Amino acid sequence: MLASLIAAVVLTSTAVITLATLPGSLRGAVQNRVELDVRRVASDARTTQLRSMLPTSPRVHLLQVVSREGTVLAASHNLRGKPPITHLKLAKPETIYTTEARLSGDPEVIESDAKYLVMAMESQTPYGLVTVYGAASLADVDRALGWLYAVIFLGIPLVLVIVGSITWTVVGQALSPVERIRAELAEITGHDLSRRVPVPDNGDEITQLAATTNHTLERLERSVETQRRFVADASHELRSPITALRTQLEVATAYPDDTDWPSTGARALMSADRLTDIIDELLMLARLDAGAVTDRHVVDACRLAEEQERRRAGGAVSIVTDAPGTAPVFGSPIQLDRLLTNLLDNATRHASARIDLQVAVDEWDKTVVIKVTDDGPGIAPEYRDCVFERFTRLPEARVKDKDGSGLGLALSREIALAHQGSLTISDHFPGAQFVTRLPLYVEGYSPV
């Protein structure tokens, strides 16, 4: 419809301009020739150079010089011996008068069914007052205009039908892959995201659309699978402390006289604390997944490390901090503190006697490097990626800490990524070394 509408506007505009200018242009060309001959003959008559046989220009068919008494003084070769072609009453001499009329006369000279453009001018000559007549047939002009009207009024609708049909067919064929993609997408539901849309081999934008759609479906499938696993694992992790808490309270309620209430309250409080920690980590992960932006400002990573060391002083595992100078980063103090807390908690569970906490500035790539190293058994290379998955706990971790949730390292990596940084495990012996890199804060520039 749009293509037909555009074609209709273009063709109609062209037709209107043509109809407004072409008929007048064709008649104007004929009129100029006739007027030129009439004025030439009148000039010859005034200077007594009038010849009995008048030459005519191309397409000027008839020329006559008629005296006031009606005598033909001169004529073109086809009007020799013929009466005047017309009698016009002219108001003023030396003035050209124009009309269109059907002329009568010899059929071999004058076309009876054709209109003629007739021009006349009176002029004072040595022969007296004479009238010069010139006439040209408009048959060719009328035929040309007839063809023009036929082309415009019959051809334009035909062209519009052809344009509409071709456009409909071509666009339909071009968009048929889109319809197949749409139909396939309509069949895909949240219960089965393994299906993919067909990818045409045209190599055009539709091919790119189909390929991008399939990539999006792949990411969506992975995301949904991760979400399902996350919900299942979260339900499992939350069920354990809730069950333990419920069991403790049910036993205490059933045997109130035999219950050590301070001990029972302490254990219930520990279960509640574990539930609180899991929920806090889940909420922070959910905010990070949603792309929520917390209040951020300049934070000194060295001061965070020193605060962690003071907070953990007197613990079973000693923490040795190496954080000279300052290491400014732009970020959320709460999230960055949580990152260090999780890394140190993980190191404390696996360390034998010592944890090294090192903060330094890498001037070469403008990053702040935070290294947390323990002297425990370490992490095998094949497990260094999976430990950052949510609710993933290695067998050794389950033995050492049954109350862990498997969210700490996953949350730490998400915090690092949210701050345009990274968290990896590097080779180290003995133990494991977690390396966090965050963009160094430069005055007047915020990297996140």
- pLDDT (tens digit per residue) in 227-275: 776 677 667 667 767 777 788 788 888 888 877 878 878 877 877 777 7
> What pLDDT, on the 0 to 100 scale, is given for residue 401?
53
Per the CB < 8 A criterion, the answer to whether 92 and 62 are in contact is no
Give per-residue pLDDT as tens, 78-117: 888 888 888 888 888 888 898 888 887 777 777 777 888 8
> What pLDDT, on the 0 to 100 scale, is given for residue 368?
93
> What pLDDT, on the 0 to 100 scale, is given for residue 430?
82
* Reported confidence tier of residue 127, pLDDT bands at 50, 70, 90: confident
> What pLDDT, on the 0 to 100 scale, is given for residue 422?
92
Q: How far apart are CA 72 and CA 360, in angstroms?
A: 120
CATH class of 2-143: alpha beta
> What pLDDT, on the 0 to 100 scale, is given for residue 280?
74
Specify the fold of 205-288. Answer: Helix Hairpins (1.10.287)
Q: Closest by alpha carbon to 336, among 237, 411, 273?
A: 411
Q: What is the mean pLDDT of residues 13-18?
A: 89
Structure tokens at 174: 């071009």
> What pLDDT, on the 0 to 100 scale, is given for residue 58?
81
Q: How far apart are CA 163 and CA 150, in angstroms?
A: 19
Q: For the full predicted model, state whether its pTM sits above 0.85.
A: no
Q: Does domain 294-439 have CATH number 3.30.565.10?
A: yes
Per the CB < 8 A criterion, the answer to whether 244 and 275 are in contact is no
Residues spanned by CATH 1.10.287.130 within the chain?
A: 205-288
- pLDDT exceeds 60 at position 398: no
For the chain, what is the radius of gyration of the CA atoms? 51
- pLDDT exceeds 90 at position 193: no
What integer best gives the mean pLDDT of the chain? Answer: 83
Half-sphere exposure of 194 (CA within 13 A, CB side): 2
Q: How far apart are CA 266 and CA 255, in angstroms?
A: 17
Give the H/E segment covering residue 338: helix 333-350
Among the listed ranges 19-23, 196-200, 240-244, 353-357, which one has the minimum average pLDDT value? 240-244
Q: What is the mean pLDDT of residues 309-338?
A: 86
Residues spanned by CATH 3.30.450 within the chain?
A: 2-143
Per the CB < 8 A criterion, the answer to whether 448 and 417 are in contact is no
Q: CA 258, 261, 263, 266: dihedral to nearest 10 degrees?
A: 150
